Structures are given as C-alpha cells and as structure tokens.
Structure 1
C-alpha cells in the first residue's frame, strides 16, 4: 500500500472516531422532551459545477431540545401531513414540518414500534414505502434485515441469504421500492447491489449486481424520480472539516444486469462551504411536469460537532 493512502486512512480513522456516536454528545440527559423544532435558514451559495437543471432552493439547520432528536439516516414524505418522517439509527423517528416557517413549529419525536423478534440495536438505515397501501419497509444495519411494517401494526422481517456476507455495520444502507413493485437494495460497503422481483419478504433470490461509484464514495440512500430513474446519494470522508463530501448520481433500473456494474451518471457534488455534512436521508416528490423536489437530511451522529441539516433541491430532470 502506498504511503499517501496509509496517511489518508489514518486521518480518516481519526476523524471517524471524533464524530462517532457517543463522542462529544450534544444530548443533555436532563433535557425536557420538548417537541418544538426551530429552523435556522443558512445563507449559503449553491456549489459550483452543478448542472443548469439543478438548483439549491433552501438549506436549514434543524434544532430540537428533545434528547431523542437526531441521528437521522432515512427520510420519506409524510403521507398524513405536510412534512416528513425521519428515521434514526437509534430506532426513533420524528415527524418534521415542511419549511419555511417562522420561529418554532410542533414536531413529534418517538420510538418506532419494535419488532419483538428483532433484538436491539434496531438501527434503521433505509426506508421505502408503498403509497397505495401505506406499508413501509425498513433496512436494518447490524442485522442485515429488511422489515415490513403495515398500517395495522403488523411487523415481519427477513434476513435474505444474499445479504449474509454483508458487514454488520455496512448492511442495507440504501433501499427503494420502485413504482413497478420491485426493490433495489445497496450495501453501504463492498459494492453489492440486489434487485428483488417484488417484496423482499416473499420474493425468490434477488438478482445480484455491482455498484461502483467514483473514488471512495459509499451509498447512503436512494429514491425514484418520476421518470423511473433512481437518484442515489453517496458520501465520502475527506481531509476537510466537516469531513464529509456528498455526491448525487442518477441510474436507470432498466440498465441493471446480473453480475455487472450498474451504470451511474454523476449529477452534482455537495461540498460547498456551509453545506458539508453527513447526508444520509433523501426523499423525492414531483413538482410539476419534468421537475422534482429533492429533500436531503444529515445524520448529526448526536454530536456537538455536527448539525442536522435539511436541504431542498429543485431538479428539472426532464430538461
């Protein structure tokens, strides 16, 4: 191994320890469990090099004194409200109002109902849903499990054989239910991708493919665009502060082939001053003909040194 790479790995390890959950915790155990979120709009410029069809429409720092708030690794549009549901790596969730708004606004932070057969920690890293039925599927790190949770409270999970060899802390980091009912699941590390013909709890063995982002970027979430393609969020640790760089890439599920790399097209990098953070959650909603709104949320690792940022992007994907 070359010396520059050894030096980089050592620095990245040091940075990882610095920002790891449990280090420099911002939570006050005596804090009242208030559920009022406050948004601080960031005065930041759109990073250079973004394509003409992609615009930074807003950026906010989200604050909440509730000690259970933070650590969000997955995001989806709230079908019952005007905002979002964010899921954390501690098994909690929060209903967040949609910005912009002035002052503070009510939120709801709670523990997501546990599956009694799925032991702790119940680390939710990915979430996808069927809007028609209200059913959601959750990807769990440490278990390499996919859980199905129905609106009536019924819970079941599966630990697919195809995920047996995935590292316990690099499991189903990204998952999306496509509009045709198929599922794509990506491992955080190792370059493994799976395409299920249907619900992973009832489908046969998935088709295996390869995910090869540039450099050392790793997938953290994905969501489907209205035109059928998938937008994938990647993150890398770099020698900067905050030590994160994020990357958005576009891929077509129709191009997935067994044992082959999934063709990826770079859309934009999120590495501008004031915007660098640990983005792990993404949700997409249509916003007119050929346009979509993309929401990103950052996992603050419950650290005083990090922020829960919420970004709003406007993407003219049809242009």
Structure 2
C-alpha cells in the first residue's frame, strides 16, 4: 500500500494534480463490487477507537466502468442506506448501500451514473462547469453542488432527479477572488433550526498562498458573509457536513511529497461561524500512512434510530490505477 501511495503522489506531482481526460457523456447503470476493509489501523486488528471516532467498517469500490471514479462529494439518506456523490468532472453517482444494523457498509447495489445538466440544458462537461467538487442537500430536499474552477454553486430542485437542470445561485463577491484551482471544495447545508438558519457553508480548498488560512462563506441564512478557517499541518479543506446539533465537521486532506497522505476531521462550533470570524476546531481524527485511507474528499453524516451519529467518508481515486475508491464508516464516540 505504501509503495502504491508514494507512486501515486509522484504521479500527481508530475501532472500537477489535474483531473484525467473527460469521459464520454453517459447515463447508465453500473456494477460495483465491494472489497471489505475490516480494520482501519494497518496491523492493528483489535483497535476500534481512533481519536474521538469508532471505526465501524469500510469497503473498497471496484467498478469495471471507467466513468466510476473521481468521487469528490457525498450525501447519504437519513437511514444511511443510499448515497449520492459527484465526480470531479460533472457526473452524478447514485447507489444503494447495503449495511448491517450498526451501519457497517457491506455492498453497493443498483448503482448508476449520469451527466449533470447545466442551466442551459446541456451537460456540465460541455460548458466548462465540470470541475464539481462537493454536494450537499438541505432539509427541503434541494441539492447544491460547488464548482471549483468557475467559483460557483449550482442548485437542483426537490424532489431531486438525476436529469434535472441546474440553476446558479447568487454568491458573495469574495468568492470570485479565490484561486483558480483552489476554490470551493467543501459545501454543507446547515440545519434550519440552528443558529445559521439553513445557510450554505462553502469553504475554499486553500487561501491565496500556501500559508494562508482558508476562506469560508455563509450563503443565505441568518448571518451571511465571509469567515476564515485556520489552516494547520499542511491540510487542505475537501468537504464538510453538519452534525445534528448544528456543529460543522470539516474534512481535510494532506496529499504531498513532503508529508505523504493524510486525513483529518475537525469539529467547528456552530456559534463560532459568523461573518469576520477566524474559526478553528477540535480534531476528531487524524490519520496517515498507517491507516486505510486514500485521497479522502467526501463526508456525510446521518443518525441511527438509537441516536448514534454516523460519519461516512469517501475517497477520490483521481482515476488512477495506483489509488483506491474507499468508503469508510465511523461512529461519533462522544
């Protein structure tokens, strides 16, 4: 595993981390096999607790269809039994997730892929809006997707349909000043009952320079505006999701030659998210080469009937034979 990841890091350094060639536009069912990942810690079969999370289980997604890959954002249904993801080149990926009573993932069923349809009725891939990086769904069932290269957020109406046409939403002016390839990477819809009153929270992958903090934006809701997320440990933002209590979880990724591969999840208090604020958060988990991770880019949250809060994390394999598409499940241990 380490050799494969190191080779992948070298490959990304050579090509500049860019996406693979755009696939042909498709709309079809796909078969996805699942290889179980029983242990999160490599060589530590007995360990369950990692930071403030308990590892439930995971699967590696294996598909013969070359269009299944590059998964960069994720939402799950309230029962955790179905998922909707976006690829980094403007495709939807939807599937049913077979799971046990503890929410441990077992298999992928009834998977399908489809091109996202832009505001002009054409596939995003044909209009330069295909650099899709995150997806979220609000309590009304509306789906929102962030586009990194064009610094935009697209809305899809409820009830959601794979063939629905997107509409752009108005955004704060500061979003247009983000770096071209380090734009809106994380997106989450806040609870309507919380202090943000249903606002979208969008966070850029990185600031203007390598050392700058990450710009964040509150779109709509009770207190719209811009805030900043403290950057540390060479981690970049990749996705976000809200907990039932209103706190924000921020998924971060480290993927460079200096430090290798890494994953971190921070918990940011809802009360701290306001215009002008510089926010940080408690680290729930940090993982690296000694854990079963890859380029982790998607995060979703749901709650079991018994009250347990479940985190689902998915990786973007960059459509590289040296990387993997992993779907991992954790339980919030607090």
**TM-score interval, normalised by the smaller of the two chains:** 0.7 to 0.9
The correspondence for 1:249, drawn from 266, 281, 287, is 266
Q: Using the alignment, how far apart are the partners of 1:251 and 1:44 within structure 2?
A: 27
Question: Does the alignment pair 1:143 with 2:157?
Answer: no
CA contact (8 A) 1:40 1:62 kept: yes
Q: Using the alignment, how far apart are the partners of 1:268 and 1:218 within structure 2?
A: 15
Closer/same/farther in 2, CA of residues 165 and 57 from structure 1, 3 Å limit: same
Equivalent residue number for residue 86 of structure 2: 87
User: Deviation string for 1:175-209 (max 9, x for gaps)?
Assistant: 111012112111111011112333xxxx99x4221
The correspondence for 2:167, drawn from 149, 156, 159, is 156
SS in 2 for 1:162: helix
Q: Using the alignment, how far apart are the partners of 1:128 and 1:102 within structure 2?
A: 24
Long gaps (5+) in structure 2:
1-7, 100-104, 193-197, 208-213
Aligned positions of 1:155-304 closer than 5 A: 155-158=166-169, 160=171, 161-180=173-192, 181-190=198-207, 191-198=214-221, 206-239=224-257, 243-273=260-290, 275-288=292-305, 291-304=308-321
Q: Using the alignment, how far apart are the partners of 2:117 and 2:78 within structure 1?
A: 18
- 1:96 to partner: Cα distance: 2.3
Equivalent residue number for residue 126 of structure 1: 134
User: Deviation string for 1:102-142 (max 9, x for gaps)?
Assistant: 777331112122332872242211111123x3211111011
CA contact (8 A) 1:34 1:66 kept: no
User: Deviation string for 1:209-239 (max 9, x for gaps)?
Assistant: 1111322111100100111111110011244
> RMSD in angstroms over aligned alpha carbons?
3.2
Closer/same/farther in 2, CA of residues 68 and 55 from structure 1, 3 Å limit: same
CA contact (8 A) 1:245 1:271 kept: yes
SS in 2 for 1:86: strand
Q: Using the alignment, how far apart are the partners of 1:261 and 1:41 within structure 2?
A: 40
SS in 2 for 1:282: strand
How many positions carry a matched residue from both structures?
A: 295
Equivalent residue number for residue 41 of structure 1: 36
User: Deviation string for 1:263-292 (max 9, x for gaps)?
Assistant: 311111122535131010011001245521
CA contact (8 A) 2:133 2:186 kept: yes
CA contact (8 A) 1:45 1:272 kept: no
TM-score normalised to the size of structure 2?
Answer: 0.78
Moved more, 141-150 or 81-90: 81-90
Q: Using the alignment, how far apart are the partners of 2:86 and 2:244 within structure 1?
A: 23
Question: Does the alignment pair 1:50 with 2:47?
Answer: no
SS in 2 for 1:55: strand
- 1:159 to partner: Cα distance: 5.8
CA contact (8 A) 1:46 1:55 kept: no
Closer/same/farther in 2, CA of residues 234 and 84 from structure 1, 3 Å limit: same
Long gaps (5+) in structure 1:
1-10
Closer/same/farther in 2, CA of residues 255 and 95 from structure 1, 3 Å limit: same
Moved more, 287-296 or 75-84: 75-84
